[in-house]
Amino acid sequence: MTPLDTEARNRDLPPLGETGWQAVPGRDALRKVWKFRNFSQAWGFMSRVALEAERLNHHPEWRNVYNLVDVTLTTHDCNGLSTLDIKLAKAMDRIAGPAEVAPQDGAPVLSLCQERAAGRGA
Amino acid sequence: MTPLDTEARNRDLPPLGETGWQAVPGRDALRKVWKFRNFSQAWGFMSRVALEAERLNHHPEWRNVYNLVDVTLTTHDCNGLSTLDIKLAKAMDRIAGPAEVAPQDGAPVLSLCQERAAGRGA
Amino acid sequence: MTPLDTEARNRDLPPLGETGWQAVPGRDALRKVWKFRNFSQAWGFMSRVALEAERLNHHPEWRNVYNLVDVTLTTHDCNGLSTLDIKLAKAMDRIAGPAEVAPQDGAPVLSLCQERAAGRGA
Amino acid sequence: MTPLDTEARNRDLPPLGETGWQAVPGRDALRKVWKFRNFSQAWGFMSRVALEAERLNHHPEWRNVYNLVDVTLTTHDCNGLSTLDIKLAKAMDRIAGPAEVAPQDGAPVLSLCQERAAGRGA
């Protein structure tokens, strides 16, 4: 797995920002929180995402409390975002459909639109 | 568990017939077949129904092949339909939402609208 | 997907027969029935198999009634057994662990140990 | 839901402490972290716990990262531990079976063995 390069960041991150994904302060990671109507609906979402995660062999960090599902995506093997995170984020958006997105206190996803290698070189 | 009586049958079965439930020939049982878009969507449905089944302590007979979920409901303890079947059928309809209902070769659900005790007594 | 050839059948089917898989009369398909202690244990099994099925993009025909899980494996695209069925059967055996295997009325799995092309030619 | 009283705490918490449950500093809550062999095994556990949670109408706070499942139990309605937490903790131990318990930095569960009402009164 290679880190997401500048071109891919500029292309793929802004649309995710528009659906409610945000940057995790201090990490090269995406986060989104869904608020479903109840546990059943949250669990139906998680059950479908689990299938996709295993298919991609790429798994989320996620936390569930009743109707809330709080997801953080990053790729541990490359210590930051990779194309797998983009794929899994898009799949989650597709599966969640019109479910409510809960507010979080993250940074704009645009702050992730820089090549990390460049950042580290600075 | 007591069998569904005539009044409950006349009240609860016709609305289920309208959503696509049919009678299983030769059994006092309801059947419905859903055709989802893919396995993921079928599995999300089944995962939520499993929660409801365990909550009611009443479980379906169901068969899954890829995007198809073929459900038969009856109550083994009373050898026929009970109020639990009505509850589970309604929950399934709610969870499935606008998913496509596949054709089956069952009998109209109205054929179940008779008190079985009476039938047996005849 | 290509059908399982004679060599693969002779190598892979007998060990599956020893764990309780049987031939489905009239079909080039494997079947096994597990009897778990309760619905929860059956559902835990199915939830893990669902992940594997989606990962392989190869799905079982399966039926569940409370603690029973009745599985039939075949590959619709090649109208008979393929290597995917062997993989999924092995994964199911691994996931089920020491769960009880319920009797069924199938044929010995050895009856599937012939190349179907040859069989059809006869 | 009423808070767990002193007697129930003294009876039910020590055995949970022995299986690896710990106190969450600053909260009247139990926490345990399991480390499974892989995501599939973690997910099989979660799928069975979800059934039990919905049956009890009492849901965990839980976090999953690949093979780790990090669970916190408390009862929001009574702002602390209740009998439902004991039931769910025992069910989780039963379902997890011999899975590895991962270290955490919590306090001994014995610190929860005091009536909170009394504590508040002091």
The 3-state DSSP class for residue A41 equals helix
Residue C121 has pLDDT above 60, yes or no: no
What is chain D's mean pLDDT, rounded? 93
pLDDT given at position C114: 79
Q: Would the CB atoms of A61 and D65 count as touching at under 8 Å?
A: yes
The percent of residues above 90 in pLDDT, for chain B, comes to 88
Cβ pairs B/C, distance under 8 A: 38
Average pLDDT rounded to a whole number, residues A70-86: 95
Residue among D98, D40, D37, D106 nearest D71 (CA): D106
pLDDT given at position A1: 77
pLDDT given at position C79: 87
What is chain C's mean pLDDT, rounded? 93
The partner residue sitting opposite D48, judged by closest CB among C44, C51, C95, is: C44
**Which of B43, B51, B59 should be substituted to probe chain D, the one whose Cβ sees the most D Cβ atoms within 10 Å?**
B51
Average pLDDT rounded to a whole number, residues D40-50: 98
Please report residues of A whose CB lies closer than 8 A to that of B40. Answer: 48, 51-52, 95
Distance CA A43, CA A24 (A): 24
Contact B13, B110 (CB under 8 A): yes
CA distances from D97 to B92, C49, D7, D45, D55 (A): 32, 19, 27, 9, 20
Please report residues of D whose CB lies closer than 8 A to that of A39. Answer: 50, 53-54, 59
pLDDT given at position D1: 77
What is chain A's mean pLDDT, rounded? 93
Average pLDDT rounded to a whole number, residues B106-114: 93
Tokens at residue B93, please?
């309809």
* Confidence category of residue C120, pLDDT binned at 50, 70, 90: very low
Distance CA A24, CA A34 (A): 16
Length of chain D: 122
Tokens at residue A34, please?
């869904």
Residue D122 has pLDDT above 60, yes or no: no
pLDDT given at position B114: 79
pLDDT given at position A114: 79
The 3-state DSSP class for residue A53 equals helix
Q: Which run of H or of E encompasses C31?
A: strand C30-35
Chain C: closest CA distance from residue D97 (Å): 12
Residue C122 has pLDDT above 80, yes or no: no
pLDDT given at position B88: 98
Contact D56, D88 (CB under 8 A): yes
**Which of B41, B48, B92 should be substituted to probe chain A, the one whose Cβ sees the most A Cβ atoms within 10 Å?**
B48
Average pLDDT rounded to a whole number, residues A95-109: 96
pLDDT given at position A121: 34
Distance CA D110, CA D44 (A): 30
Distance CA C113, CA A79 (A): 49
| CA quadruple C70, C76, C80, C82: dihedral sign | negative
Average pLDDT rounded to a whole number, residues B46-69: 98
Strands B100-101 and C100-101: unpaired
Each residue's pLDDT tens digit, C68-113: 999 999 999 888 999 999 999 999 999 999 999 999 999 999 999 9
Contact A115, A5 (CB under 8 A): yes
Chain C: closest CA distance from residue D112 (Å): 31
pLDDT given at position B35: 98
The 3-state DSSP class for residue C3 equals strand
Distance CA C80, CA B84 (A): 40
